């Protein structure tokens, strides 16, 4: 009897680990390091649950359902995290189906938790945006850099990782205006273009002029510390700087994080009369429903 004909598949921890490693190498070969990292962390959690002495996982639907219950109750994970972990297991199981190890995907019937109707991060009001920008001077390279970063998040909808990955040469001027080439979520190449409106480009130019001599291949944003001068700015530094500016502007509160600036961009665009579909494209949302979260919030006055 072949494995595919066996009603239940039971693997040793070593065999499971081997299949997981093959899945990560083969199934995710063309995915970004961040995507592979997410799957690796999720499947490591599944492996830890799988090898517990009181768990007899034989890749049945009820076993995957038990894993979901464990994630929610024993681990206390947020519903979005549970959905992410289940997606990784679902893809692993489908990979095993494709290889003939399983007759069908036992995780397909175990649905992830429903996504929240609104993002957990709060957003800034227009008055708070004004206060934030007013509190960032333009009297040094660091402040000009920080102001440019805040502009890119608030008025271009860019995330910390997209900003820190950017090089000077990723800025491109076309007949339609300026764009920044970015590496989108799940991508391995900088194959997406984000519009950079004139006020954002002005803030970027002000910073680049302050840096002096630069090359196209240089990072767009660099550190200006004594020991790290000229090195690419990392996301931790970006978050630290923005948190400091939020605190100084008096707009730091529960729910407000540096990434709130990126979410705020959608509300600002909708408030300026941009169509929901245009906002979806600029925010690079996969579905219109994601954008509608912002639309409903804007209709309710935030």
- Helix/strand/coil for 30: coil
Helix (H) or strand (E) holding 193: strand 192-196
pLDDT of residue 10: 74
Closest CA to 86 of 53, 121, 114, 58: 114
d(C-alpha 41, C-alpha 20), whole Å:
11
pTM of the model: 0.61
Greatest Cα pair distance in the chain: 75
d(C-alpha 282, C-alpha 266), whole Å:
8
pLDDT of residue 294: 57
| Model pLDDT for residues 117-162, shown as the tens digit of each residue | 444 458 898 899 999 999 998 899 999 999 999 999 999 999 999 9
Q: How far is CA 258 from the centre of its chain?
A: 13
Return the higher-pLDDT residue of 194 and 185. 194
Q: Enter the DSSP assignment of 121.
A: S
Domains and CATH numbers, the chain: 3-98 (1.10.150), 126-299 (1.10.443.10)
| Model pLDDT for residues 21-65, shown as the tens digit of each residue | 888 888 877 777 777 888 888 898 898 888 775 555 677 888 888
Rg (CA), the chain: 23
| Model pLDDT for residues 64-112, shown as the tens digit of each residue | 888 888 888 888 777 767 888 888 898 898 888 888 888 888 888 888 7
């Amino acid at each position: 009897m072949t494995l595919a004909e066996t009603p239940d598949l039971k693997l040793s921890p070593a065999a499971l680990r081997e299949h997981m490693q093959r899945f990560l190498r083969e199934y995710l070969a063309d995915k970004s390091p961040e995507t592979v990292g997410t799957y690796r962390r999720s499947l490591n959690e599944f492996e830890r649950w799988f090898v517990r002495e009181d768990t007899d996982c034989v890749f049945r639907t009820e076993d995957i359902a038990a894993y979901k219950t464990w994630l929610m109750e024993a681990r206390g994970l947020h519903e979005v995290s549970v959905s992410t972990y289940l997606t990784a297991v679902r893809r692993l199981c489908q990979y095993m189906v494709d290889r003939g190890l399983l007759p069908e995907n036992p995780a397909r019937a175990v649905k992830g938790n429903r996504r929240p109707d609104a993002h957990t991060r709060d957003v800034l009001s227009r008055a708070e945006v004004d206060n934030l920008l007013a509190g960032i001077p333009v009297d040094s390279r660091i402040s000009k850099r920080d102001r440019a970063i805040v502009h890119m998040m608030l008025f271009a909808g860019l995330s910390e990782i997209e900003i820190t990955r950017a090089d000077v040469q990723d800025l491109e001027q076309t007949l339609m205006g300026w764009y920044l080439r970015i590496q989108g979520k799940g991508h391995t190449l900088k194959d997406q273009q984000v519009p950079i409106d004139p006020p954002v480009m002005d803030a970027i130019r002000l910073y680049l002029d302050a840096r002096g001599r630069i090359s196209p291949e240089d990072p767009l944003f660099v550190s200006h510390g004594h020991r790290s001068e000229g090195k690419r700015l990392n996301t931790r530094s970006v978050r630290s700087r923005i948190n400091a500016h939020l605190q100084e502007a008096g707009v730091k509160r529960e729910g407000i994080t540096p990434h709130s600036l990126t979410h705020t961009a959608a509300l600002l665009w909708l408030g300026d009369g941009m169509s929901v579909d245009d906002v979806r494209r600029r925010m690079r949302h996969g579905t219109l429903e994601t954008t509608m979260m912002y639309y409903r919030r804007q209709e309710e006055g935030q």
